[in-house]
Structure 1
Amino acid sequence: MARDIDGSYQPTAKSRKQQEKDHRRMEFRRAIETYSDQRQLLREIADYPDLQELTVWQASAAVSPRNAQQAH
């Protein structure tokens, strides 16, 4: 780890690139998980014709943890 005189951490170019790579990988993983969750939800509601008018975005908004926290 590279530290300045004041003790703050200054990542090297190599570690900065690795952090960016990890960040992109996590964003991609979250997108895959979201997509998978949406598809699973749509499969679950397929047996209910009155719910088939829902779009993927409406369905995902209904079960999103962020939306559940905002409702409090």
Structure 2
Amino acid sequence: MAREFDGSHQPTAKSRKQQEKDQRRMEFRRAIESYSEQRQLLQDIADYPELHAVSVWQVSAAMSPRNAQQAR
């Protein structure tokens, strides 16, 4: 059966659940990558005692996509 791709296709419950599962998986993966990047940055600045006042919250705020877009 051929389907027309005019945007009117409604996903089935099974495909919608799969999309939701994929979306959750990608959010989880991004969270892991963000955590890993934060840890790496904190390890990199550990060599500089004057930067010890930098907290994890400041690092995460600096790395958030929203702040990156505002900086442009």
When the two structures are superposed, what TM-score results if normalisation uses the length of structure 1? 0.80
**Identical residues among aligned pairs (%):** 79
What is the CA RMSD across the aligned residues, in angstroms? Answer: 1.9
1:24-63 mapped onto 2 (5 Å cutoff): 24-63=24-63
| Paired residue total | 68
Give 4+ residue runs of structure 1 displaced > 3 Å after superposition: 63-66
Deviation at 1:36, TM superposition (A): 0.2
Structure 1: segments with no counterpart, 5+ residues = none
1:6-21 mapped onto 2 (5 Å cutoff): 8-21=8-21
When the two structures are superposed, what TM-score results if normalisation uses the length of structure 2? 0.80
Q: What does residue 70 of structure 1 align with?
A: 70
1:55, 1:16 → 2: CA distance?
40
